[in-house]
Amino acid sequence: MTEGARRPLRLALTLPGTLWLALFLAIPGLLLCGLAFLSRGAHGEIVWQLSLGNFQRLLGFSSFGWTADYLRILVRSVVVAGVTTVVALALAYPVAFFVASRPPRRRSFWLALVLIPFATNLVIRTYGWMLILAPALPPARLARWLGLIDPQGGLFPGAFATYVGLISAALPFAVLPLYTNVERLDPALLEAARDLYAPGWRVFRRVIVPLTLPGLTTAAFLTFVPTLGMFVVPDLLGGARYWLIGNVIQQQFGASRDWPFGAALGLALVVLTLAAWWIVRKKGSAGSLA
Amino acid sequence: MNPPAPVGRLDLEGLSKTFGSTPVLADLSLVVEAGELLTVLGPSGCGKTTLLRLIAGLELPDRGTLRLDGRDITRVPAHQRPVNTVFQSYALFPHLSVAGNVAFGLESRRFPRPEIERRVASALALLELAELAQRWPNELSGGQKQRVALARALVNEPEVLLLDEPMSALDAKLRAQLQLELRRLQRTLSRTFILVTHDQDEAMVVSDRILVMRGGRIEQLGSPREVYERPRTRFVAEFLGAANLIPVTANGSNGHVQAAWGTLAVRERPPWREGLVAIRPERIRVNPERPASSENGFSARVTDAVFRGDCLDLWLAPMPLRVRTPPIEALEPGQQVWIELPVDDLEVLVD
């Protein structure tokens, strides 16, 4: 009876959130889907003419023949996001273990250090990397001296600078979910594994990974998805030849004024994101049973 | 079938370990015989768990050496030592079934699959866990978890099995049953078991020898009977069972000591001027009348008497002394009795 009496109240409480999502997520999302099937007019206006032209263009077909430009950028985006995710997770595990091994009173201090970058705008942080990696500064000089880059070159712009920027932006998102799992990990289990003849990698693979899997999948997702759509970092650190899908989308809605093509690219990104989510979930549930 | 020749002799030489500025083990030397069940007994913080962790390789000593069957294993990492541990919390892997937990060590060492299956099955059978093989740790009772932890360690046929307070999470009845099972198991397998506990009854039940530790040092080492009947120090006398501690002064030459209420004959000459002698409550003889001849006999008055079913506890003045006797005669407070403190049961404590 109380169950029935509470139902209207429950609905009323979910209403603001539902409305918000409907107004600012569902409706724009649907508009974006629709927009992807329209065309661009001669002056950048939207022409109400249904076509699959945007998707053909995305796949590389144009009146001049076939090119792989957009597909290459899409594949590069997925690869870059994947590598960023793997590196960020590999860096996040030791950090999570380090914080979890501090005395409880000190942990919030170390967590705050992980979170401090959030207090600074991503654009500003990225400009910071531009400065740090500039040709005249010690990191670039060291790289030149070691012969890692051209005598005239710098560490930025390029793939390296992009990875540095993306990984550092993603790291807090990888550390926090992992930390919440690592903190609850019973150290006796790791000792038991060592006691049962497991070398370090086996302790990691057979005990740490399965027991921190929820945090690991969350961390992977929170790292992969934002990185896939990132445009600030590759724009500033990648240079013109290292564009990711986010840069192309931004260009369509900005300089090129081709909203329908931008919408089609955006839709492709959403599909990729959902695919990633599906894979992570599949892998995650399979891993927890193993 | 004869039991296999025992393996797992441990030689500990001058082991020291300090955490921060706190020394937890101080220059500890000890030989654990192959196939013996040694209990390490002491209050929390006495270093007994650290000793176990050093043997397991989960900690490394600051100084000293550790030899297993003659081989120096001081710096051998935990995963390469033929030593397994039953952890206090059992530390069963929650993401693996009972069979998966038991197979873990063999899989680490890359045993062939049929061999793993055979040995897991026989370990589960040995500990009567066969029906639980596919269960998850969170579906098990405390006693079952403990048996899985034992099976997971024993399946590897370690030369030394370490048990860190394995009974502390179980209720008294189950504990008593598992203590006997453990004893039987250790005899069958003929391997070295080292059990850490703060429960003196458990130590008495299961051990070949008891090592009493205090403040990172060995307080006394001996058979349960030796440690109980011949405590060397006040700490041991009080930690194992109850003891009457009688303050006395040494009486010069002839093997006597002087208590406030009389002169006592003792077996050995005390190494001090003033000190303590100890006697167990059940060793003091109580007679209603003074017998014809008596050694270390005194007249005393009963101040309290508690009937406990299988025995009678008395408190005597003016000494004071606590006595435990068979409940043959009803003794009431106020009654005068004649007590005897047999010389052989009176221990001169070295401290």
What pLDDT, on a 0 to 100 scale, did the predictor assign at position B30?
93
Residue B137 at interface with chain A, using a CB cutoff of 8 Å: no
Average pLDDT, chain A: 86
Of the partner residues A189, A194, A210, the one whose CB lies closest to the CB of residue B79: A194
The residue in chain A having the minimum alpha-carbon distance to the alpha carbon of residue B85 is A195
Q: Using 50, 70 and 90 to split pLDDT, how confident is the model at B253? A: low
Is the per-residue pLDDT at A184 higher than 70?
yes
Please tell me if residue A194 touches chain B, with a CB cutoff of 8 Å.
Answer: yes
pLDDT at A171: 92
Is B105 in the A-facing interface, judged by CB distances under 8 Å?
Answer: yes
Model's pTM, two decimal places?
Answer: 0.81
Rounded to the nearest angstrom, the minimum Cα separation between A213 and chain B is 11
Q: Which of B58, B95, B109 sits opposite A197 (nearest CB)?
A: B109
Percent pLDDT > 90 in chain A is 30
Between B63 and A62, the more confident residue is B63
Please give the residue of chain A at the shortest CA–CA distance from B103: A196
Distant-in-sequence contacts of A82-86, Cβ < 8 A, 24+ apart: A82/A224, A83/A163, A84/A163, A84/A166, A84/A167, A84/A170, A84/A223, A84/A224, A84/A227, A85/A170, A85/A174, A85/A220, A85/A223, A85/A224, A85/A227
Q: A137 is written with which tokens? A: 């500064």
Q: Which residue has the higher pLDDT, B133 or A40?
A: B133
Which of A188, A191, A196 is facing B108, going by the closest CB pair? A196
Query: Is the preceding peptide bond at B224 cis, omega within 30 degrees of 0?
Result: no
User: Is the pLDDT reported for residue B255 higher than 50?
Assistant: yes
- ipTM for the whole complex: 0.83
Provide the pLDDT for residue B2: 56
- How many angstroms separate the CA atoms of B217 and B195, rounded? 17
Which of the four pLDDT bands, split at 50, 70 and 90, describes residue A288?
very low
Q: What is the mean pLDDT of chain B?
A: 89
Residue from the list B56, B79, B93 with its beta carbon closest to the beta carbon of A207 = B93
Q: How does B63-101 read in b/e, with b if 16+ C-beta sit within 10 Å?
A: ebebebeeeebbebebbebbbbbbbbebbbbebbbbbbb
Q: In the predicted model, what is the mean pLDDT of residues A12-24?
A: 89
CA-nearest residue of chain A to B88?
A188
For a pLDDT cut of 90, what percent of chain B falls above it? 49
Predicted confidence at residue B4, as pLDDT, reads 64
Q: Is the peptide bond before A103 cis (omega within 30 degrees of 0)?
A: no
CA distance linking residue A98 with residue A271, whole number of Å: 36
pLDDT at A287 over 70: no
- pLDDT of res. B221: 94
Q: Which residues of B touch A198 (CB under 8 A)?
A: 79, 104, 108
Per-residue model confidence (pLDDT) at position B256 = 83
The chain B residue lying nearest A196, using CA atoms, is: B105
Distance from CA of A214 to the nearest CA of B (A): 13
Percent of chain B at pLDDT > 70 equals 98
Structure tokens at B342: 């047999």
pLDDT of the residue at B172: 81
Q: Kindly report the backbone phi and psi dihedral angles of residue B170, in degrees, each rounded to the nearest multiple of 5, phi listed first.
A: -105, 155
Neighbour-count burial of B162, counting CB atoms closer than 10 A to its CB (0-12 exposed, 13-18 middle, 19+ buried): buried
pLDDT of residue A139: 84
For residues B217 and B229, the answer to whether their CB atoms sit within 8 Å is no
Residue B112: HSE in the Cβ half-sphere, 13 Å Cα cutoff: 2
Pairwise pLDDT comparison (A288 vs A179), residue with the higher score: A179
User: What pLDDT, on a 0 to 100 scale, did the predictor assign at position B38?
Assistant: 95
